[in-house]
Structure 1
Amino acid sequence: MPLHVPPAPAPALRSVLAALDSASAVHDAHTPALRSLEGQLSVELPLPVHVLEPVTSVGRPPRTRLTGWRFLIRSGERFVAAADTRLTADGWAFSHFFEGPYVAATERALRQAEAPGTRYQPRLLSVPELYMLTLWLHRGVGADPGSGLPGAADLLVPLAPAPPGIAAYRPHPVSELLPVLTHRLAPAALATPA
């Protein structure tokens, strides 16, 4: 699955680069890896971050919205942290640095998705109510990375740690995983027939 990584908005990238150059932003971050590293850091693999909106009615197709861009930060041969940006009234702005399991999980899922085959545009899809993050492999490689819904030809790859009963790193067709997520997210009153 060769990946076509979309370019991030230039202001989002600039905000991350400025934060990396700021000693106070790096020092104040809850990322010991960034504070302890010496040498060159690079910002790579910009991924649009979409959030699956709460399910409000049974049968309504799930909706997503773009909430930011995530950049992986490399030191040498490995990714050590990530930086998130968010859209403000003034445009794209740096939000925060972080490290933890999703950095390595994103790298692993992207590496797996590089296998030959169908081309995809990588995105991240967050499901906050389930504390879940997936690599969304969008079939429309030339599509606007800030819009769109998971389509029938797309794949969702849950990142570790995944919720109980959902296999991490296994590519799921949208038609297989989205109904499971929708069922788990549907309010009890909506899930029960009258």
Structure 2
Amino acid sequence: MPLLAPRAPKPALRSALAALGSPTAVREACTPALRSHPGPLTPEQPLPVHVLDGITRQDGPPLARLTGWRFLVRGGDRAVAAAETMLTPDGWAFSHFFEGPYVASTELALRQAEALPATYQPRLLSVPELYMLTLWLHGDTAADPAGGQPAPTDLLVPLAPAPPGIAAHRAHRVSDLLPVLSLRLGPATPLLGTTA
């Protein structure tokens, strides 16, 4: 079923378009693919970026918070880079361009999600403590993309490169993956036979 992609705030889209239209911003970006692409570049597939904090909290589930909107920058038939915007006290502003494995991995994960039997609202969910980025497939397609928390039945698709032992591009229910992540970040156990 098709994904029901959220609409980015108009000021976020305008800031990404302005950055793409600025020769200085493109030239100064650390993205050779963006600087060397010969044809027109367009920001597409806006995804709200949420950060998951407090995975090992004892007083409740981890909390997701919106940090920005990411646009895949299409050049021809593929994404060549991404443009990220962030919320500032003055509203939405362009943050930076980037390229690398997460761009192609996001594009692949979105194509895979289109083939799922249910309809989802796509988002990105970052887990900074594990250097992990996932495609978050939120089951409430009418939800405000700027808010909400991962529901136990939502799906998380780790993007490549994923942390060791976690399969990239495989959908996991939130209720199944979060306990695994919590174990990864749990307190370290001392080695047997060592003293303080």
| TM-score interval, normalised by the smaller of the two chains | over 0.9
Offset at residue 188 of structure 1 (A):
4.4
> Within 5 A, what are the aligned runs for 1:97-108?
97-108=97-108
Percent identity over paired residues? 70
Partner of 1:58: 58
For the aligned residue pairs, the C-alpha RMSD in angstroms reads 1.3
Residue in structure 2 matched with residue 161 of structure 1 by the alignment: 161
Map of 1:7-86 to 2, 5 A cutoff?
A: 7-55=7-55, 57-58=57-58, 60-86=60-86
The letter of the residue matching 2:75 is: S
In structure 1, what is the Cα distance between the partners aligned to 2:16 and 2:90? 15
Q: Which structure has the bigger radius of gyration?
A: 2
Judged with a 3 Å threshold, the aligned counterparts in structure 2 of structure 1 residues 57 and 152 are, in CA distance, closer, same or farther, namely closer
The total of aligned residue pairs comes to 189
The residue type equivalent to 1:49 in the other structure is: V
Structure 2 distance, partners of 1:56, 1:112, is: 30
Please give the TM-score of this superposition, normalised by the length of structure 2: 0.93
SS in 2 for 1:111: helix
Q: Unaligned stretches of 5+ in structure 1? A: 190-194
Q: What CA deviation, in whole Å up to 9, does each residue of 1:136-166 have, x standing for no partner?
A: 0000001000111110221000000000110
1:59 is displaced (CA, Å) by 5.3
Alignment of 1:120-139 (within 5 A): 120-139=120-139
C-alpha distance in structure 2 between counterparts of 1:135 and 1:37, whole Å = 26
Q: Which one scores higher on RCO, CA 8 angstroms, separation ≥ 6?
A: 1
Q: 2-side partners of 1:116 and 1:161: how far apart?
A: 22
Q: Which residue of 2 aligns with 1:192?
A: none
What CA distance in whole angstroms lies between the structure 2 residues aligned with 1:57 and 1:152?
16
Counterpart for residue 176 of structure 1: 176
Unaligned runs of at least 5 residues, structure 2: 190-196
Q: Which moved more, 1:167-176 or 1:37-46?
A: 37-46
C-alpha distance in 2 between matches for 1:74 and 1:139? 27
Q: 1:119 maps to which residue?
A: 119
Report runs of 4+ in structure 1 exceeding 4 Å deviation. none
Contact 1:50 1:123 in 2 (8 A): yes
